[in-house]
Structure 1
Amino acid sequence: MKQNRLSLNDVEWGEFKIKDIFEVYLSKGDNKADLLDCGNIPLISSGFNSNGITKFINRGDGISEIIPKNTITVDMFGKAFYQDFDYYAVSHGRINILSPLYNLNKNHLLFCINSIDNATKNIFSYNRMCSSSRLSKLKILLPVCNKGNPNWQFMEDYIKQEQKDIAQKVIDYYEQKMLETSFDLVGLEDVEWKEFNFNDVFRKIQRGKRLKKDDHIDGNTPYISSTSLNNGLDGFIGNYENLRKFNNNITLANSGSVGSCFYHEYEYIASDHVTSLTLDKADKYIYLFMATIVKRLEEKYSFNREINDKRIKNEKFILPTDKNGEPNWAYMSKFMQKIEAENLQKVLEYIYIYKLAISYEKKLLPLHKKEWKEFWLEDIVDIESGKDIYERERIDGNIPYVTATAQNNGIGYFVNNINKTLEEKAISVNRNGSVGYAFYHDYKALYGNDTRKLIPKYKNKYSSLFLTTVITKQKEKYGYGYKMGTGRLKRQKILLPINELGNIDFAYMKKYMQIGEIKEEYKILDYYYKLLN
């Protein structure tokens, strides 16, 4: 029997003073901690990002004792974070430490954090900082049991429920991401690729038929619409007239979650927001392969640019080919069967890809054995200035606006402004602020004047990511008195691996970064899959 989901509306709530649940004291951390060398102990300061961690340092002489894990930090503005590791906290950041008076675990404290953030919201600032005395007197709302005490069991169960939901979403995302990365790395690079029109590959391209929500009749036939969730399933209906049924093919969302693509092994009814794509004599594995390739259209289209019937038929994609230059259906099917067979044997998804990535890594020459050579940065990228969007000009939206921060991939804000700096598949380099940090942006973004926009002449995500690492290595040369401006960037020399002809080995850079990405994705999947069990 399916267990009912816990809801915050299903429990009684009560007010509790923070000092009745936690011992509250101000960090006595020495400011010299900022000067310590890099290490593995988190240093906590004021900030809304990265769990309050500004850097990782070594244990240093003369620095006050390390604060134990399983505590909560609250900075001068009232922002709370749970700390799962022993850490330092700087005194100039005015970090308040909340140490539980009872035997509370991680899940209990994670629940408390949200209540603390709600209690401190908009009441602390530079003019009225969050001191330990003020924090102690604050009241927070917590679920209560029938005796009026904090309902710690409910809090733990609720956090576990939410963690499982998040874990599943992360797993779904990284499974797909790992699979797409593997297409460039694992096996598929050993065959020739060729560009095809949709109209030349799919035997039948047909949009579904409009069926208003009010006209739906309850039934057992899947109704596929433009949602990106549940394999495109938007419910089950029992309608029989004035509709279009399909079976054993894939659907592409024309609007809504544009570009979402799913395989359907069963009979279904398609809405007019999706287009059904049918191949000639294709098995399940070929469709699964094609769905992943077609899904890449998500990067091209959006809510502002839907995929109409004409665009779909004229859309192009590349596929592996056989010796006659035709789509290599047998190869696609075999590849997907390998992946699925391995999934049946292992609990952790896509371990097959991970193992193959490791085998590729063994064949790849290590960085220290590779030959390297100096290159002028201007010979590799085109360098352009950014343009500031001042606070009074900013319109809230969903377009990333890249500023001179070292956090969040350089994104400072999300706006709805448009200017000439709009670019995708570009690298940003901070010329001011956190000088020298470089980030790759695979999406359309705007760039502030404290950054420089670098447009790679060789366009590839992974070689561009390699470049960002190499460029960031130069940041120690720069600072507020010596900015990383356009002129200096152009004449900046960087070391890059070369091939036997003495040219930049972009293929090597690409492979190296792909392998690294798959290894990291495997770690993430491993961690989150354990949360589900």
Structure 2
Amino acid sequence: MEHRLSLNDVEWKEFFIGGNEGIFEIESTSSGIDKNKLNHEGGKVPYITRSDINNGINMFISDNQNLKYNQDDGNVITIGLDTQTVFYQQNGFYTGQNIQVLSCETLSKEVAMFIIPLLKIQMQKFNWGGNGATLTRLKRTRILLPIDKYDNPSWQFMENYIKQEQKDIAQKVIDYYEQKIIETGFDLVGLEDVEWKSFYFDEIFRKIQRGKRLKKADHIDGKTPYVSSTSLNNGVDGFIGNEDKVRKFEGNLTLANSGSVGSCFYQDYEYIASDHVTSLTLENADKYIYLFMSTIIKRLEDKYSFNREINDKRIRREKIILPIDKFGKPNWDYMSKFMQKIEAEKLDKALEYIYIYIYKLAISEELKLPLFEEKEWKEFWLEGLVEINSGKDIYARERIDGKTPYVTATASNNGVGYFVDNTNKTLEEKCISVNRNGSVGFSFYHPYKALYGNDTRKLRPRVENKWVSLFLSKSISNQKEKYGYGYKMGTGRLKRQKVMLPISETGKVDYTYMKKYMQIQEIKKQYKIINYYKNLIEELSSF
């Protein structure tokens, strides 16, 4: 198995952060730039402050103005001492806000990601009181770092460790969004919504059997496809006529165990399997089910490589996420209809992944939709679209830490302020929240069960659909600029709030348009995220 780096693999040693013996050169900047005079029109250069959000970036400014300080080149760590904020700045930036800039020749993005959590731990001892943050205290602060055989910081270990963790996280993100894009795509092609569940291979396949070894020198010319571990030609590596000491299969899947590990193909003809592939047979499945399964299984290509084969035991305990019926069993009929729909749309069947099918379908559907500026819109009273209910406060002294989202009047984290173990009459799922206080006018959709504070209003849509609710929530948020702390969004005002929505030819709200538009935008975003992280894994695999 591939060796995983562990924090226990290396020895650790304390180092000063700065000073003559420190690992960083520290440059201290001071305030002096009037932010109101900064030109940020069309700006692309970050302006760093002591903010604890957005990587410390307060705004983006143009780089052609005469500032007191030169632009920093980047590849440094910035620290706001009095706010205990620590961030890595990869690109050039400006700052004039009492920021400490830490640099060293061996710093890279991955090394910075390793060191920053260690710096943050030490920064916690700085506060606004008698033990306040100063440059001198920062320089004399020590952090523990892994060391090499010469007792120097092991920069290579830090970089490799972070790349390893980033690959794991990236793969989890890919798995998550591939699943989400599939779920959205099912709905987009007109099939009903279903739940999904994880299954082991040996729970799904009636027969899992590896092919039999057959040396190249023993091949006899013939007409029977010989399936091996190639990712080309549907896995067919040639045609042979051998009858003895071979294993024949027909109408099932082949999965490459080595070579192009994870390559999976549907074989609708009789074939001979080499010992580099495993035959996977379902019970009474049609070709569409097999095609569906093959595209899902191909995700294993990202998990395995040439130096990590899939052995027989590992195959049986691999997991696959499938749509399920009301009994919690794989919904084979659903999978078959989905693939038939794909085929009926005459999309490119050579595409490797279902999420690529769905992305192509989304682009195709988008071309059929009227543009926003071409669509007819109309104002509607909000109370005609939703049922409006008050929230109920759970005061700090009453809150019990738990897992239930508690929606407050915040503008971040989808409106969720806390996670609690409390419950009350506001507990509900598939609702929209609107902030009536605090960050007034912000609106969020909550597909999960959540509790709602009294500074929010809980809106129960009269048309219950995830994508329609997301569209409506955005339309409500578009009105937030007219509200403020002196003009709160109470229940009465909310009922008489108007929102602009697209309409059909009959003048009614065009819910179909709203739903399809949001689905397409979601698929496009998910596709972009998946490809970003696939490229990231490819880059990280080079170490």
TM-score (normalizing by structure 2)? 0.70
Structure 1 residues 354 and 4 mapped into 2: Cα distance closer, same or farther (>3 Å)?
A: same
Equivalent pair of 1:16/1:140 in contact (CA under 8 Å): yes
Shift in alpha-carbon separation, 1:374–1:61, aligned structure 2, 3 A: farther
Note if contact 1:283-1:333 (Cα within 8 Å) is conserved in structure 2: no
Task: Report how far residue 136 of structure 1 moved.
Answer: 2.8
SS of equivalent residue, structure 1 residue 367: coil
Question: Contact conserved, 1:31 with 1:90, CA < 8 A, in 2?
Answer: no
Q: 1:528 to 1:501 in 2, by over 3 A?
A: same
The Cα shift of 1:60 comes to: 9.4
Are 1:429 and 2:413 an aligned pair? no
Which has the larger Rg? Answer: 2
Write out per-residue CA displacement over residues 237-260 of structure 1, whole angstroms, 9 at most, x where no aligned residue. xxxxxxxx87449xxxxxxxxxxx
Q: 1:79 deviation in Å? A: 3.3
Once residues 447 and 348 of structure 2 are traced to their aligned partners in structure 1, the CA distance between those partners, rounded to angstroms, is: 31
Structure 1 residue 110 and structure 2 residue 113: aligned?
Answer: yes
User: How far apart are the structure 2 equivalents of 1:407 and 1:33?
Assistant: 29
Report the counterpart of residue 420 of structure 1 in structure 2: 425
Aligned residue among 283, 286, 289 for 2:289 = 286
Amino acid at match of 2:441: G
Task: State whether structure 2 residue 10 is matched by structure 1 residue 11.
Answer: yes
Alignment check: 8 A CA contact 2:197 2:324 kept: no
CA RMSD of superposed structures (Å)? 3.9
**1:505, CA displacement in angstroms?**
0.7
SS of the counterpart of 1:454?
A: strand
Report the residue type matching 2:455 in the other structure: D
Q: How many residues are treated as equivalent by the alignment?
A: 433
Alignment equivalent of 1:171, drawn from 161, 169, 174: 174
- Whole-angstrom distance in 1 between the partners of 2:57 and 2:41: 15
Q: Give the CA deviation at 1:25.
A: 2.1
Q: Residues 416, 88 of structure 1: CA spacing in aligned structure 2 closer, same or farther, 3 A cutoff?
A: farther
Contact 1:26 1:132 in 2 (8 A): no
Correspondence for 1:400 among 400, 405, 408:
405
**By how many angstroms is 1:134 displaced?**
3.1
Cα distance in 2 for residues equivalent to 1:70 and 1:101? 9
Q: Residues 71 and 84 of structure 1 are in contact (CA less than 8 Å); yes or no, is this contact kept in structure 2? A: yes
2:155 paired residue number: 152
Query: Contact 2:170–2:533 at 8 Å: present in 1 too?
Result: yes
Task: Work out whether residues 167 and 531 of structure 1, in 8 Å CA contact, stay in contact via their aligned partners in 2.
Answer: yes
Q: How does 1:45-444 map to 2 (within 5 A)?
A: 45-46=49-50, 48-53=52-57, 67-75=72-80, 76-87=82-93, 91=97, 96-121=99-124, 123-124=126-127, 129-185=132-188, 188-189=189-190, 231-232=199-200, 247-248=205-206, 281-283=284-286, 285-286=288-289, 292-294=322-324, 313=327, 330-335=336-341, 345-346=351-352, 350-444=355-449
CA gap of 1:362–1:58, structure 2 versus 1, over 3 A, is: farther
Distance (whole Å) between structure 2 residues aligned to residue 452 and residue 126 of structure 1: 40
8 Å contact 1:30–1:90 — kept in the other structure? no
Alpha-carbon contact 2:173-2:533 (below 8 Å) kept: yes
Against the structure 1 CA distance between its residues 163 and 487, is the aligned structure 2 distance closer, same or farther, given a 3 Å change threshold?
Answer: same
Does structure 2 conserve the Cα–Cα contact (< 8 Å) formed by 1:436 and 1:475? yes
Mapped partners of 2:460, 2:38: distance in 1: 35
* 1:401-436 C-alpha deviation (Å, 9 max, x unpaired): 111211111111111111111121111112222221
- SS of residue matched to 1:439: strand
Distance 2:387 2:336 in 1: 42
Greater shift, 174-183 or 101-110, is seen at 101-110
Task: For structure 2, list consecutive stretches of 5 or more residues without a partner in the other structure.
Answer: 208-251, 255-280, 294-319, 539-543
Residue 294 of structure 1 aligns to which amino acid in structure 2?
A: I
Q: Partner of 2:169: helix, strand, or coil? A: helix
Distance 2:126 2:530 in 1: 39
**2:52–2:83: 8 Å Cα contact kept in structure 1?**
no
Q: Counterpart of 2:497 in structure 1: which amino acid?
A: Q
Partner of 1:241: none
Shift of 1:7: 0.3
TM-score by length of 1: 0.71
**Helix, strand or coil at the partner of 1:359:** helix
